[in-house]
Amino acid sequence: MLAELNPAQKEAVLSTEGPLLILAGAGSGKTRVIAHRTAYLVKEKGVDPKNILAVTFTNKAAGEMRERVRKLTGSEVHFPWLGTFHAISVRILRQEAKYLGLSRNFTIYDEGDSESVVNREMRQLGVDTRQYSAAEITAVISRSKNDMLSVQDFSAAAVGPFQRTAALLFSHYENALQKAYALDFDDLLLRVVELFRKHPDVLQRYQEQFQYILIDEYQDINKVQYLWTKLLAERHRNLCVVGDDAQAIYGWRGADFRTILDFEREN
C-alpha cells in the first residue's frame, strides 16, 4: 500500500492523528494521498469505513477516489460516506429531515431549475428580462447562500436598483421553493449547517461517527462548506485537508483560498 508513494506522500498517509494540512502542486499526487490514507486507516488501523468521511467537489473526482480506494482495500469494502459535499448533505438531510420540517422526499433543483423559477417570478413581477437576466439573479442568490446570507440579510444590505430587484426576487424564489418542497444545490449545505446549529444532539451523533475526515481540493472551499467541515471535525479533530493554494478555481461561487492558508492557525 505504501510502496508506490514518495517519502512526503508516505509521511502524509501515516500521520493519521490530529489536524493535517497537505499543500501540493498540480500533478503531485494529492488525490492519491487521500485514497491511500483512507485505505490505510481501514486496512492497517482497523477503522470501520462508516467512521471515515472523505469529501471532494465533483462526482467525477469522487468516482475516481472511490475506485482508487476500492483497488487498495478490496472490492468487498464499502465506503458509505465517500462523495461530494452535496451528495453527503443530501443523505444527511433525508435521514434527519424531520428536525428541519422537511419531507424526506424533497426535490432538488439544479441550476437550470433555479433559473426557470427566477424567470417565472421575473415575469410575474413585471421585471424587465432585457435589463436583468435570470442567470444574473440566480448567481447573486447562490453567492448569498454560500456566504450564509439570508433573504433578510441580503435585503437589508441591498443598494441600488439591481440589488433591490435581486432582493425582491430572492424572497419570491425562496417562497417558490418552499411551495414546491424543493431545495436548490446551495440549500443542501446551508440546511445541514442549520441542522447542526439548531440540534446539537444531531451534530454530536455525526461528530462521534466521523472519527476521520478527509477533504480534497480544500482551496476551493467556500464559507458554508468551511462551517460544515468545522462543525463535523470539532470532536475528534482528525481533519486532513489537501489542496493547492495556487489552483483555486471556484472563486466565482464564493471559494476563498485564504481558508487553506489559515488552516494551521485555526487548527
pLDDT tens for the chain, 267 residues long, are: 788 899 989 999 999 999 999 887 766 677 888 999 999 999 999 999 999 999 998 999 899 999 999 999 987 789 999 999 999 999 999 999 999 999 999 999 999 999 999 999 999 999 998 999 999 999 999 999 999 999 999 999 999 999 999 999 999 999 999 999 999 999 999 999 999 999 999 999 999 999 999 999 888 888 899 999 999 999 999 999 988 766 555 444 555 656 666 776 676
Give the whole-angstrom CA distance, residue 217 versus residue 225. Answer: 12
Distances (CA, A) of 48 to 88, 105, 115, 153, 211: 18, 29, 42, 42, 9
Give the whole-angstrom CA distance, residue 177 versus residue 159. Answer: 25
Give the whole-angstrom CA distance, residue 158 versus residue 219. Answer: 29
The Cβ of residue 44 has, within 10 Å, a number of other Cβ atoms equal to 13
Q: What is this structure's pTM?
A: 0.90
CATH node for 107-180: 1.10.10
- CA-based nearest residue to 216, from 17, 82, 34: 34
Task: Name the CATH topology of 7-97+194-266.
Answer: Rossmann fold (3.40.50)
For residue 198, give the C-alpha cell: 439548531
- CA-based nearest residue to 138, from 156, 158, 118: 118
Q: Where do runs of H (alpha helix) occur along 18-157?
A: 30-43, 59-73, 85-95, 111-125, 134-146, 151-157
Contact status, residue 192 vs residue 92, Cβ threshold 8 Å: yes
Domain boundaries, the chain: 7-97+194-266, 107-180
